[in-house]
Amino acid sequence: MNGRRAFLAGALSLPLAAKAGEAWDAVVDPATGTLGAALAAAERAGRPFRILLRPGIFTEKLTVRAPGVTIQGSPGTVIEYGTAAGTAKPGGGTWGTGGSGTLTIVAPDVTLRGLTVRNSFDYIGARRDGSGNGAQAVALAIGREADRTVVDRCTLLGYQDTFYLHTRSLVTDTRIVGGVDFIFGGAAAWFERCEIVTRYVPNAGGFGFVAAPSTPAAQEFGLVFANCRLEREAGVPVNSTWLGRPWRAGGNMALLGQAAFLNCWMDAHIRHEGWTWMGYKGPEGDQRRLTPPEARLREYASKGPGAGPIGEDRKLLTTEQARRFTRANVIGF
């Protein structure tokens, strides 16, 4: 092979250049191969590993376990699976929210580019039929071991709990679609130029919450959105969607959610009040609320019909405070 890296795993192609100067360790066509086989080869390789996915649908529920993996999609590449919290696991038991992801990353320095990742669980049908336990169904999960994850020019599709982030992540030029708490977790994450879309749900009384940060109180930064657009599907009413609510996961008193929207454009579906509370059980088992004034939920220079008015639960960063919110400070890479 003239010294070029090569392997054959299932129906994977040998390495080739997708375009001039760009070589791949694996090229996978969904008609003949699987991404799962390519990820297994990446684990065996024990070095940075580049995977190109051809157009088409990969119906696989996958975990990226090898550090330094790059997964590059082509126009029309979709990874999808339909698992939600409460649905049956192979071998017995049921999935929880964290295990429901279509694609889960548990290794550092992983990059996703040009992919659509979709949780295809029938959220609308579950609401209609009263099945499921809330229908949390994650599309992409970034685990605690997955430091320095990069998500670039992707599309993430779900309804409830679309994107779950535990650790430092950079998300650029990506479309994130969902309804209830659809960007959530304790990560320090920097979202730049992303399109954040609230979904229409028939007969819904409200249209959900964009962000649900569960940031450790000792961590300065959480979910930070810079120069993003908050948009809505057709049918989502004016003044129907919260910017978010602080999630004290498991009643952990060491969590004090942090999120900020910086220079973002917001459509009219964003509620005037901005943020709202989220319930949790206190140390004695009593039911409590974590409110926006207690948490660290802020905006700076919002634009569009959903921007403001500012009030007790919808607070601005000062210019001096906003200067602290840089990509370098938030994620360090």
HEC states along the chain?
Answer: CCCCCCCCCCCCECCCEEECCEECCEEECCCCCCHHHHHHHHHHHCCCEEEEECCEEEECCEEECCCCEEEECCCCEEEEECCCCCCECCCCCECCCCCCCCEEECCCCCEEECCEEEECCCHHHHHHHCCCCCCCCCCEEECCCCCCEEEECCEEECCECCEEECCCEEEECCEEEECEEEEEECCCEEEECCEEEECCCCCCCCCCEEEEECCECCCCCCEEEECCEEEECCCCCCCCEEEECCCCHHHCCCECCEEEEECCEECCCECCCCECCEEEECCCCCEEEECCCCCEEEEECCECCCCCCCECCEEECCHHHHCCCCHHHHHCC
Q: What's the pLDDT tens digit per position in 29-44?
A: 999 999 999 999 999 9
The pLDDT assigned to 203 comes to 85
- Total number of domains constituting the chain: 1
pTM score, whole prediction: 0.93
Is 36 inside a domain boundary?
no
Is 226 inside a domain boundary?
yes
The pLDDT assigned to 7 comes to 32
Residue 257 belongs to domain spanning:
59-331
Is 111 inside a domain boundary?
yes
Is 194 inside a domain boundary?
yes
Is 4 inside a domain boundary?
no
Residues with catalytic roles: 161, 181
**Percent above pLDDT 70 for the chain:** 92
Quote the mean pLDDT of the chain. Answer: 92
Least confident of 14-28, 52-66, 168-182: 14-28
Residue 294's CATH number? 2.160.20.10
Is 26 inside a domain boundary?
no
Least confident of 15-19, 199-203, 306-310: 15-19
Q: Does residue 227 surpass a pLDDT of 50? A: yes
215 contacts 166 by C-beta, under 8 angstroms: no
Is 42 inside a domain boundary?
no
The pLDDT assigned to 131 comes to 59
Q: What's the pLDDT tens digit per position in 302-316?
A: 999 999 888 899 999
Is 232 inside a domain boundary?
yes
